[in-house]
Amino acid sequence: DAGVTQSPTHLIKTRGQQVTLRCSPKSGHDTVSWYQQALGQGPQFIFQYYEEEERQRGNFPDRFSGHQFPNYSSELNVNALLLGDSALYLCASSSTWTSGISYNEQFFGPGTRLTVL
């Protein structure tokens, strides 16, 4: 049973560029959440996707956008990169009950380490 997978594992970009990170959820999961983890900090919630729509959003600017595909995989896009965007970007997947309420038991991928120069 494959867990959450993310690609690429590492990425180096320069300021002003755009980046796309990818995530495949754990088998049987339909909800994907994205987090930013700065060095020495806990993960910070960016947004969550369910049924191909953004369901919740944290306190991140519009430069951060996402997408979920019919197979539940997801992308995180960041435009106009800033030095402060350098971080580990984590994807987490979970299941949503038929009532629309999701479990909080999220399973994380290994992350993508983004360095902005």
**Quick one: 14 or 27, whose CB is closer to another protein?**
27
CB of residue 16 vs another protein: minimum separation in angstroms? 28
Between the alpha carbon of residue 68 and those of residues 2, 45, 109, the distances in Å are 19, 16, 16
Instruction: Compare residues 48 and 68 and give the one whose CB is closer to another protein.
Output: 48
Pick the closer one to another protein by CB: 78 or 111: 111
Which residues are near another protein by CB under 8 A?
4, 33, 35, 40-45, 48, 56, 58-59, 90, 92, 100-111
